[in-house]
Amino acid sequence: MMAEHCSGKMETALEILVGKWKPLILFQLFSNGTMRFSELQKAMPNITKKMLTAQLRELEYHDIVHRKIYTQVPPKVEYSITEYGQRMAPLLLALVDWGTAHMQHLSELYDDDQAAETVEVDDEIGAAK
């Protein structure tokens, strides 16, 4: 019974993080603060406008990302992490730390220098709190 209860909670959490783009979007917003749509797209050049829009809408639905629309010509839209979404910072930092450690582990396991190449990430997510 307890496993089923925890499984449902895990599924709920993963729904927010599942996919290639959501963690990267969150990382950009935690690192850079408020960003316009075009800035997010430039930071992730391989994402399509349609996919970026869909991912941002899902994050907005879950109250992780806030979308602010300015009524001007041309229209201006900015995205930022909500106060509620700030609670994800430790989780994202833990994922970055684990990813770095895992790459090191693979490097040692397979004696492969390329696996050891890691992207150095300062505590930008934590600093954005």
CB atoms within 10 A of CB 92: 20
Query: Cα separations (Å) of 59 from 46, 55, 83, 111?
Result: 19, 6, 13, 39
pLDDT digits (tens, 9 = 90+) for 17-45: 888 899 999 999 999 999 999 999 999 99
Both tokens of residue 28?
């950009």
**For position 57, what pLDDT does the model report?**
96
Query: What's the whole-number mean pLDDT along residues 104-108?
Result: 91
- The answer, yes or no, to whether residue 122 has pLDDT greater than 50, is no
Quote the CA–CA distance of 128 and 29 in Å, as a whole number.
9
Residue 122: other Cβ atoms inside 10 A: 9
Residue 49 CA: distances (Å) to CA of 16, 21, 54, 88, 123: 19, 12, 9, 25, 29
Residue 52 has pLDDT above 90, yes or no: yes
- Which residues contact residue 39 at a Cβ distance below 8 angstroms, ignoring those fewer than 6 apart? 32
Predicted confidence at residue 83, as pLDDT, reads: 97
If one compares 5 and 66, the residue with the highest pLDDT of the two is 66
- CA distance linking residue 113 with residue 6, whole number of Å: 38
Domains, the chain, ranges and CATH?
A: 2-127 (1.10.10.10)
Sheet of 35-36, strand order: 35-36, 76-81, 65-70
* Tens-place pLDDT, residues 76-85: 999 999 999 9
pTM listed for this prediction: 0.76
Condensed to tens digits (0 to 9), the pLDDT of residues 90-100 reads: 988 898 899 99
Answer yes or no: is pLDDT of 120 > 80.
Answer: no
Question: Which pair of structure tokens corresponds to residue 62?
Answer: 């879950």
pLDDT value of position 123:
46
